[in-house]
Each structure stands twice: as C-alpha cells, then as structure tokens.
Amino acid sequence: MLIVILLLALYIGWNIGANDAANCVGADVGSGKMSLKEGIIITSVFSLLGAFLLGSHVTKTIGKGIVPLHKLDPSLALLVALAAIFAAALSITVATYKKLPVSTSHAIVGSVAGAGLALGAPVIWSKLTDIFLCWLLTPLSAGLLSYFLYFFAKRLFPKIVPAHWQERFLRGLILLTSAYMAFIWGANDVANASGLLVGIGKIDFFPAAIICSAAIIIGICTWGYKVIETVGFRITHLAPLMTVVVEIAAAININLFTLFGIPVSTSHSIIGAVVGVSLIEGIKTVNKRIVRDIVIAWLATPLIAGLFAFFILKTVLLFK
C-alpha cells in the first residue's frame, strides 16, 4: 500500500508541475522577454529551493490539519492518503489536458475532505472554513495589489529608468520576479504532493519533499507548456512591465498565506494579478471567455476531487 501511495505521490507531483508551472513563468514567456526553456529551468531550480526551505508550513496543514491522519489507525490513514492523492491527481490531469490553470491546492484539500467523509473520519471543519475564506481572498487580494502597483509603476518607471536601459532592466526584473514566484510556489504547492506522505507518518518531510519535487520538475519539463500557453498568451497580452508587476503581486500574496500554513492557489493568485493589471489597460483587453472557463474550473475542482476521493475510498472499502 505504501509503495502504491508513493507512486501516486509521484503522479500528483508530475501533475502539479504540468499545471502550475504556468503560474511562475506563463506571464514571463507571454511578455516575450523569457524563452520557454529559461522559464522551465528557473522554475525547476527555485521551486526545489522553496520546497526545502519553506515547504514544511503547508505540509503540516495538508497532512494533519484537515483530517488528522496521525490519529487514525495506520491502515485507514493509508487508505485516505491513497484515495485523496489519486482523486486529486486525476482531476488535475483532466484540467491540464484542457489547458486550464486550476488549483492543485483545491484539488488536494477537496480530495482529503472527501476521503475523510467516506471513511467517517473526523474532518476539521474550522480549518476547512479558514482555507475556503482564504481561497476567496487570494484572487481578490492579488488583483487589487497588482492594480495599484501597476497604476504607479506605469507612471513612474519611464521617469526613473532611462529609455536606453529600460529593455535590459525589465528583462533582469522578469528573471528575478519569476525566480521569487517559483520559490514561493515550491514552498506552498509541494505540500499538495508531499503533505499526505508526511501525514501518514511513514516518511519524513525532507525525503518526501525530494521525491515530490523531482516529480514536479518532470511535470514542468514534459507537459508544463500546455497551461503556460493559456496564462502567457490567451488571457491577455502582457507587456514586460505588466509581467513584472503581476509576479511581484502574486508572489507577495502567496508568501503571506504560506507563512500561516494556508494551502492557497498560486493559479488564483497569478490569474487575479493578470486581470488586475489588465483593468488598467481596459477590460476589453481581457479574454472574458477564457477567464470564465478558468473560474468555472476553479469552482468545480475541489468538488470533483472530493467526489472522486469519496467514491474511490467507498469502492476500496467494499473489496477490503
């Protein structure tokens, strides 16, 4: 059973890399100041650092804060982990195939709760309520922050930076902000793959982080381009200065939630920030159909993942 769960953790890690790499470099690639290859390398390196240095906060929440796996019978905890990881990974695979940047955090939180309910295990509803409220705040706070940052940056940047330095300066800023975003993404989202491994008490944090980070990097390199296309090119056209502001706003937003151990969505944060800067240029610049599809996918993800986990675990229990 543990070997199966390890394989499923690799599967969900691969899915996280494939879907969420766009949160770190989609806007950069869309700006024309970063190649896809550069984006993949930066995301791989700095997400790994973020997972090791800051990933333990959210890992504890996923592993113990929703359903207290460490308090369950070990065999039952393994079943919850198996159903939750498989259900979350399956829902993310479908979204990535559709090129939709969904929340891997929503998927894993929904699937853990669904598996807990199927087993009759205690679900910590107060923690789920806190997480849900933070999910609502994530795109709003990122959008507001990016709106105001871009409002001032658009006016001050041409005055502060000489014209002949602007292109080089912007490229440097894009590389730095994408590295920061990748670091914070690794800190928050590696827990979506490693949290349940740690929660069942069979693997310590660092080995779990290494295993899942490796899977995430493979996901970035093999299938990450699909959602990168959506974030970088299909929502709106991002000028280089817009890209810098988007990543600063989204990364600061996620950083704050990560410090409190809240598994929020980097997808929500980056898309909220993209829409925020786009509003300065006018609502007509935003592809409303793509935004609508993304929002629908966001709302559906935790529910679908939770239902998958519920029925998977019920099926397993019938044959146990």
Query: Please, what is the Cα angle at 33 between 27 and 37, to 5 degrees?
Result: 80
Contact 262, 62 (CB under 8 A): no
Model pLDDT, residue 154: 92
d(CA 223, CA 176): 24
Contact 117, 279 (CB under 8 A): no
Position with higher pLDDT, 121 vs 308: 308
The mean pLDDT of 30-40, rounded to a whole number, is: 80
Q: Residue 21 is inside which H or E element, if any?
A: helix 2-31
82-96, 174-188, 289-303: range with lowest mean pLDDT: 289-303
Model pLDDT, residue 184: 87
The mean pLDDT of 59-66, rounded to a whole number, is: 65
Percent of the chain with pLDDT over 70: 91
The mean pLDDT of 13-38, rounded to a whole number, is: 78
Task: Give the side-chain half-sphere CA count within 13 A for 222.
Answer: 13
The mean pLDDT of 169-184, rounded to a whole number, is: 90
Q: pLDDT band at residue 304, thresholds of 50, 70 and 90?
A: very high
Model pLDDT, residue 285: 66
3-state secondary structure 183-212: HHHHHHHCHHHHHHHHHCCCCCHHHHHHHH
Position with higher pLDDT, 111 vs 20: 111
Model pLDDT, residue 313: 92
* Residue 293, Cβ density class (10 Å: 0-12 exposed, 13-18 middle, ≥19 buried): middle
The torsion angle over the Cα atoms of residues 31, 278, 185 and 108, rounded to 10 degrees, is -130
**Can you read off the two tokens belonging to residue 76?**
């039952």
Q: Taking 90 as the threshold, does the pLDDT of residue 77 lie above it?
A: no
Position with higher pLDDT, 119 vs 26: 119
Model pLDDT, residue 147: 95
Please write the tens of the pLDDT for every residue from 231-284: 666 666 778 898 899 889 999 998 888 887 777 777 788 888 988 988 887 766
In 3D space, the residue among 185, 162, 188, 297 whose CA is nearest the CA of residue 247 turns out to be 185
Q: Taking 80 as the threshold, does the pLDDT of residue 182 lie above it?
A: yes
Reported pTM: 0.79
**Can you read off the two tokens belonging to residue 86?**
């498989």
Model pLDDT, residue 105: 76
Chain mean pLDDT for the chain: 82
Q: Taking 80 as the threshold, does the pLDDT of residue 191 lie above it?
A: no
3-state helix, strand, coil in the chain (%, to 5): 85, 0, 15
Give the total residue count for the chain.
320
Please write the tens of the pLDDT for every residue from 200-224: 777 787 888 788 878 888 887 887 7
